[in-house]
Chain A
Amino acid sequence: MIASRDNWVDDEAGPLVRPYAMTRGRTRPANRDLNMITLVVAAKDDVDTVTLDADYVAILELCRHPLSIAELAARLDVPIVVVKVLVSDLIELREVIARNPSRDVRVPDMKLLQAVLDGVRRL
């Protein structure tokens, strides 16, 4: 719940940041569809490190390849909800593309299930 990575804060701020400070107090993402396995990938090849906040840049640099919200949270050592808020912002800024898991789990895609079966058999 507390960011411990040094690059998230400057020296004066000290090592601790309240998670909701990173989201400017927001506890819910504007985009309510985001799930812990929503896959996120950077929309552009280059990350705009000048105008974007460091928190956004950190996400974009991890998302050169598709990465789930849960992985982002683990890699950045922040709670899932914080990543959801930041990714929601990045979607609005058109900096990332996100893909949600299939909406209806009751009717899973047979082709996808077959791919899962083939994949786990290959383990």
Chain B
Amino acid sequence: MVSDDSEAMPSAVKILIAGGFGAGKTTMVAAVSEIAPLSTEELLTEAGIGVDDLAGIENKLTTTVALDFGRITLNDRAILYLFGTPGQGRFWFMWDELAFGAIGAVVLADTRRLETCFPSIDFFEKRDVPFVIAVNCFEGAARYEMAEVREALDVGEDVPIALCDARDRESAKEVLVTLVEYVLSKQTLARATM
């Protein structure tokens, strides 16, 4: 039996941690997860065939994409999963399942390579998944004003942008709080105008 409202079972919710390769996604998951981040694989099977970007993958059946994720037990009724999304563009077809059930997303931006988070931003904008930008303050990276980052990323005025250190639990927590507050405010607004 699969139910959507079984009273005996907790609910699972999901937040996605996106960003380019090396932006600190798994680091952020590790900073707040109650378990050491787990890694699982999805096989590229027929689900991926027909996706243009798969051209060049020689053996589709043996290609896998790794997903790193962590867990936060919120209370006895709800469990939050944090999924680091695969950075490579050829795994876009997986994002629909990843986005299913996601309440929102954190896009980790590395100011040394801001363009690497453009695909994530595009995806979440198109799917109406609420997201915040977290600028991971790497050592040695030039510091930018928030306004400069906002302009460079071309995101709406309402999208929160926060500076963070993805290694730091308190800092990563603040980013999550910012995201969930943003999601709640959007929902409240949507309900008020319904």
Residue positions of A touching B, CB distance < 8 A = 1, 19, 27, 31, 33-39, 41, 66, 68, 70-71, 73-75, 79-81, 91, 94, 97-103, 105-106, 108-110, 112-121, 123
**What residues of B have a CB within 8 angstroms of the CB of A38 in the complex?**
2, 12
Is A19 a contact of B2 with CB atoms below 8 Å? no
- The 8 A CB mask of B160-194 against A (1 = contact, 0 = none) is 00000000010001001100110110010000000
What DSSP secondary structure best describes chain A's contact surface? mixed
Q: In the complex, which residues 61-85 of chain B have their Cβ closer than 8 Å to any Cβ of chain A?
A: 62, 64, 67, 69, 71-75, 77-81, 83
Is A102 a contact of B11 with CB atoms below 8 Å? yes
Residue positions of B touching A, CB distance < 8 A = 1-4, 6, 8-14, 32, 38-43, 45-46, 62, 64, 67, 69, 71-75, 77-81, 83, 97-103, 128-129, 169, 173, 176-177, 180-181, 183-184, 187
Number of A-B residue pairs having CB atoms within 8 Å of each other in the complex: 158
**What residues of A have a CB within 8 angstroms of the CB of B184 in the complex?**
110, 113-114, 117
Is B74 a contact of A119 with CB atoms below 8 Å? yes
Known A102-B11, A102-B101; contact A117-B41, beta-carbon cutoff 8 A? no
